[in-house]
Copies of this chain bind each other. A is one copy, B any other.
């Protein structure tokens, strides 16, 4: 069990649900564009949003974002204590910094004082691109180097009285990421921000993130997750939701079980499965539905489904809890099932 910290009103760690976060891709000082993106992220299920702060205009824009954002805003600042202080004074709910790169002791003290006086939390983290030199020399690009580098940043903040700290140790290599978080989880009770960094485009990035984040969540490691995709950040949120669902960490959703179809499949179950998936993705209701190509696995697999359909040669059978209750011609199966689905969703 990790400690609990807050980003605005959103608890992270200490038994809180695993939080989904993402990062905007708009210039932060373009507050209209950034707010529009934040609203899309929130609608998709994002719970915490991070914005990059490159300059004073970005730092000052945090105020307008914070005032209008439906989500807590995390300011991401590198190389500048001054910008960190400005972003916090502009109302950032949390900052993502590495004390190691914002200057000397005086600068670090100024930022730490500001964090404490505003009562906000901070994420520090190492990724394979930002390991402190001494750890890189001592350990190479290893889990040890990531963990030591991150914990050194934690120690600096704690020495300055900052304790509400979330930690990350990301690599673009999945096995390295998993090894680093396992090691880190054994050495700290700070909440962990979990992700695979620079995971790539949607197609490969979703797989890398699912394997890495999923393996950790299944072990109980991870308090907030970020899927990094070179794509619209809304896709990151969808992927994160799917990972949480796959790991059994989200219950209020409509699970769609559908078979891959094979030579036994004599109707277009794929088209129906896709339609069903699209229709129910955002629905917050605990329901399990099955779209099965044939009767070999269909009825058995659909036993614990609230609603199911399995195809035959020219007729399809509708199930409730694995029990057939209606037979329809294959040509009418789609319309009949979607009607039953809508009824189940509105019940």
Instruction: Show the binding face of A for B, using Cβ within 8 Å.
Output: 23-28, 34, 50-54, 58, 76, 78, 127-130, 141, 172-175, 178, 197-201, 203-208, 210-212, 214-215, 218, 228-231, 233, 236, 238-239, 242-243, 245-248, 256-265, 269-270, 273-274, 277, 290-292, 296-304
Contact = CB atoms under 8 A, between A and B. Distances in A.
A95 to B, nearest CB: 15
A66 to B, nearest CB: 15
Contact of A174 (B173, B246, B259): B246
Contact of A247 (B34, B211, B246): B211
A24 B263 contact: yes
A263 B211 contact: no
A303 B129 contact: yes
B128 A264 contact: no
B218 A175 contact: yes
Main secondary structure of the interface of A (DSSP, over half): mixed
A247 B26 CA distance: 32
A231 B65 CA distance: 41
A174 B212 CA distance: 14
A248 B173 contact: yes
B242 A203 contact: yes
Nearest to A195: B260
Contacts of A301: 127-129, 172, 197-198
A78 B296 contact: yes
Contact of A210 (B175, B211, B228, B269): B211
A257 B172 contact: yes
Nearest to A33: B263
Contacts of A256: 200-201, 204
Contact of A215 (B54, B215, B270): B215
Contacts of A264: 52, 54
Given A206-B210, A215-B218, A265-B25, A130 B300 contact: yes
B204 A260 contact: no
A23 B297 CA distance: 15
Given A54-B264, A201-B277, A277-B200, A215 B207 contact: no
A76 B173 contact: no
Contacts of A210: 206-207, 210-211, 214
B174 A239 contact: no
Which 9 residue pairs are nearest across A and B when measured between Cβ atoms? Answer: A211-B214, A129-B300, A129-B301, A210-B210, A52-B263, A207-B242, A228-B260, A230-B258, A52-B262
